[in-house]
Amino acid sequence: MLEKLLSIAASPLSFILLIGIVVTVHELGHYWAGRLFGAAIESFSVGFGGSLLEVRDRRGTRWRINWLPLGGFVKFAGEMQAPSDSRAVGTTDLTGCAFHELHPLKRLVISLGGPAANFIFAILALATLAMITGLPEAQAVRVAEVQAASPAEAAGFRKGDLILEAGGRAVSTGGDVIRATALSAGESVVYLVERGGERLTLTAVPETREERSEAFKVVEKIGRVGLSLEDVDLDVRRPGLLEAAAYGVSATGEAIGSTVTVLRRLVTGLDGIDRLSGPVGIFGIADNATDLHMKQTELSFLERLANVSLTLLQLAALFSIGVGFFNLLPIPVLDGGAAVMCLAEAATGREIPEAIQRIGLTIGLACLIGFAVVVTWNDVTRPGGPLEVLSGMLS
């Protein structure tokens, strides 16, 4: 009975843990950068709303855990984070100087501290996973089948071809080929293949297909060229510390590149906003991933928890990269917007007036709220989402 109750509670706890880790890492990046330059810090908050738990340290900083676990913030004394804020310092009990009194370049470092911490966390998490679970590596990636009337057939692929590179990157497994293709629907992808000892360059244009993951209960629109692949002599190799660290850096860089690709395709109209997910979508992914492992009754309860932990660590790394990148966008209210203002002040040698900052923060906040509403609506209404599940329960 206790095991069943723990299994039921695991899904929401997984979501809270996932959000909490990534947000805490982000805010600690701001916090420690602020401490480095002697900034007075009013509060460090995980979550929004009223406090569930609050303590004050000897520097006067309030450490808070709030009831709504969907974000967090660090409030520096004299910092304008919202249109209603002012540069007045709220209390004299704080150690350090007001945020606006710091040199613009120091404020720039503080603004970028959060995203930097997210990327560093992702590198460490992915390196740790590589050391625990190993890195899959095949002797070759072979084309097992070419679908008729597919982009791959039009490009000249043949059964038995060995794929060496996809999208300009060397491949170790078939998964590398799939990743190079998935985000490129409607765009040319170059493949380097070996056929009969000869190397050929083939170019295919992936087509958009809807595929449902039964494990995670989501439907995705992804690029496919119509290839079935097989890994020749697949092996799982456990890297040493330095190789794992290098893998963490490389994998984080690739994830950032994929995020840039998604943003570019959104801006150019190649993809829709449904490509993005917000808190509802993240909860669904965490929930389904947790259920997937907790239902493996052939394993012991501790083994299932271990598998859930590894999956959540991977999701936390990817989510951390997304949070870090999103916060770098040059929108007031986000870290990227604050960085732009710091650079403007450093270049002109003049402080941006509070009135101008309020206007920028108001516009940025409106954009952020609108974006959150659209993304949440997409999460709720997407195939396999809460609305479809609810409709199925009522029908």
Q: Strand 198-204 and strand 189-195: pairing?
A: antiparallel
Half-sphere exposure of 12 (CA within 13 A, CB side): 6
Residues 194/171, Cβ–Cβ less than 8 Å: no
d(C-alpha 329, C-alpha 37), whole Å: 24
Given 3, 27, 298, 351, the catalytic residue: 27
Three-state secondary structure call for residue 134: coil
CA angle 141–143–148, rounded 5-degree value = 155
Residues 66/45, Cβ–Cβ less than 8 Å: yes
Query: Which of 215, 279, 214, 292 has the alpha carbon at shortest distance from 11?
Result: 292
DSSP string, 82-131: STT--SS-S-S---SB-GGGS-HHHHHHHHHHHHHHHHHHHHHHHHHHHH
Query: Which of 62, 37, 39 has the alpha carbon at shortest distance from 51?
Result: 62
Torsion of CA 61, 67, 71, 73, to 10 degrees: -20
Residue position matching structure tokens 């859930």? 308
d(C-alpha 279, C-alpha 285), whole Å: 10
Q: Terminal CA-to-CA distance of the chain, rounded, Å?
A: 31
Residue position matching structure tokens 């101008």? 356
345 is catalytic: no
Residues 117/214, Cβ–Cβ less than 8 Å: no
Task: Give me the residues paired with residue 169 across strands.
Answer: 166
- As annotated, the active-site residues are 27
